[in-house]
């Protein structure tokens, strides 16, 4: 297990400056290869996902973990939570490599941080996996799936974007393309269907896409054409880097708001979207509902209070959009400033 410092970063392509802790682990007995990143604990312990994915190499895994941990710090701060940001990734194929021994080894790895990192399920893991990890480390967020709450926050974020775009926020007849219908995407599809939105879905798993389409009356498109599909709202709900140099010119939506993290492949894509007249809901603002729910669980609050706080995602996003328009900056810049202002003024900062 190693902690890369400036020399390690300088010898590779990834900069770890500004992160509190970056740890690699290789457990030879189980074959576990994993990374835990703690970005910032100014506001509280770092909460972050356990992502299991067959990355091409350790650099790709670290790059993903760094991006996600930084986004989690911004998400928690912008949402007004007393939590910090972190992330962990396991380099493995969840369909083939996931075992109890592997998960428990990752739990023992997390335990070495002494409570500075609190894990929750993410891509490739679920609540049952967190319970296994929880045999080796405490606390873990295994008492409720945050995915439906992430979806609820995204729903309210889409509503805020529609209002900012000149409508009354009604979703009836609004054409939404949900890209990725896993835990968050399928929950969002259900919420949108209940509001009579016109649904389009895409997923790398054709059977999953077909199932969601049948349940909610959606039209299925291939994942390769999802970003080029004509719609009012593109809702990315799978892996990140959805908007890049290749997909940006083909976008045929007026709003982007979804549950995925790191939707923009590069920071400059925020300005490119604005130049095209596409309203972008910064991912760490619009997908904060799950994180809000998790803090509510940690605090022991009931479902009604949790729902009330999650629905405030829409009002916070509306503030970000209004601030961006007042100051002439991108919505991403406005959201980052909101988060960083709170970090700067936190006690002990």
- Report DSSP letters for 116-134, one per residue: SEEEEE-TT--HHHHHHHT
Query: Are 237 and 297 in a shared domain?
Result: yes
Query: Are 120 and 153 in a shared domain?
Result: no
Question: Are 127 and 103 a contacting pair, CB within 8 Å?
Answer: no
Q: What is the DSSP string of 87-114?
A: EEEEES-TTTT--HHHHHHHHHHHHTTT
More confident: 324 or 123: 324
Let me know if residue 138 belongs to a domain: no
Query: Are 105 and 160 in a shared domain?
Result: no
| Domain around 192 | 147-341
More confident: 156 or 127: 156
d(CA 278, CA 105): 44
Residue 97 CB burial class (10 angstroms; 0-12, 13-18, ≥19): middle
**pLDDT of res. 9:** 34
* pLDDT over 90 (residue 152): yes
Of 46-55, 76-85, 247-256, 299-308, the poorest mean pLDDT is in: 299-308
**pLDDT of res. 17:** 82
* pLDDT over 50 (residue 12): no
pLDDT tens sequence across 153-207: 999 999 999 999 999 999 999 999 999 999 899 999 999 999 999 999 999 999 9
Looking at the structure of the chain, the number of domains it has is: 2
Query: Are 125 and 177 in a shared domain?
Result: no
Question: Are 24 and 1 a contacting pair, CB within 8 Å?
Answer: yes
Provide mean pLDDT across the span 137-143. 90
Let me know if residue 348 belongs to a domain: no
Mean pLDDT computed over every residue of the chain: 93
Instruction: Provide long-range contacts, Cβ within 8 A and 24+ apart, for 224-229.
Output: 226/177, 226/179, 226/200, 226/202, 227/179, 227/251, 228/252, 229/177, 229/200, 229/202
* pLDDT over 80 (residue 10): no
Q: What is the CATH number of the domain that holds 119?
A: 3.40.50.10860
Report CA-CA distances (Å) from 85 to 43, 64, 182, 327: 9, 14, 23, 27
Query: Are 16 and 107 in a shared domain?
Result: yes
Q: What is the CATH number of the domain that holds 244?
A: 3.40.50.720
pLDDT tens sequence across 265-311: 999 999 999 999 999 999 999 999 999 999 998 888 888 999 999 99
**pLDDT of res. 96:** 96
Query: Are 126 and 207 in a shared domain?
Result: no
**pLDDT of res. 15:** 64
> Two tokens at 200?
């389009």
pTM of the model: 0.84
* pLDDT over 80 (residue 209): yes
User: What band does 144 get if pLDDT is binned at 50, 70 and 90?
Assistant: confident
Query: Are 101 and 173 in a shared domain?
Result: no
- For 24, the 3-state DSSP assignment is strand
**DSSP-assigned letter for residue 145:** -
């Amino acid at each position: 297990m190693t902690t890369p410092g400036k020399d390690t970063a300088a010898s590779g392509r990834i900069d770890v400056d500004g992160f509190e802790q970056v740890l690699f682990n290789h457990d030879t007995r189980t074959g576990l290869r994993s990374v835990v990143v703690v970005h910032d604990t100014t506001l509280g312990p770092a909460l972050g996902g356990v992502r299991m994915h067959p990355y091409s190499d350790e650099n790709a895994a670290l790059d993903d973990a760094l991006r996600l941990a930084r986004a989690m710090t911004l998400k928690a701060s912008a949402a007004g939570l007393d939590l910090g940001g972190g992330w962990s990734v396991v380099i493995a194929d969840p369909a083939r490599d996931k075992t109890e021994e592997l998960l428990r080894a990752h739990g023992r790895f997390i335990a070495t941080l002494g409570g500075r990192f609190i894990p929750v399920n993410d891509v490739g893991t679920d609540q049952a996996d967190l319970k296994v990890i929880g045999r080796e480390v405490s606390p873990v967020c295994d008492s409720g799936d945050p995915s439906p709450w992430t979806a609820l926050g995204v729903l309210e974020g889409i509503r805020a974007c529609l209002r900012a775009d000149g409508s009354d926020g009604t979703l009836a007849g609004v054409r939404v393309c949900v890209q990725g219908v896993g835990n968050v995407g399928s929950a969002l599809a259900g919420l949108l269907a209940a509001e009579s939105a016109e649904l389009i879905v895409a997923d790398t798993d054709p059977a999953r896409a077909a199932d969601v389409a049948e349940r909610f009356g959606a039209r299925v498109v291939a994942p390769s054409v999802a970003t080029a599909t004509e719609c009012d709202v593109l809702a990315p709900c799978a892996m990140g880097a959805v908007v890049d140099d290749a997909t940006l010119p083909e976008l045929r939506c007026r709003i982007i708001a979804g549950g995925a993290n790191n939707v923009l492949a590069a920071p400059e894509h925020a300005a490119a979207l604005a130049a095209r007249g596409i309203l972008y809901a910064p991912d760490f603002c619009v997908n904060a509902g799950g994180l809000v729910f998790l803090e509510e669980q940690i605090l022991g609050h009931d479902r009604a209070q949790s729902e009330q706080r999650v629905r405030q995602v829409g009002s916070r996003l509306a503030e970000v959009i209004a601030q961006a328009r007042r100051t002439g900056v991108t919505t991403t810049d406005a959201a980052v400033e909101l988060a960083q202002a709170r970090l700067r003024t936190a006690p002990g900062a």
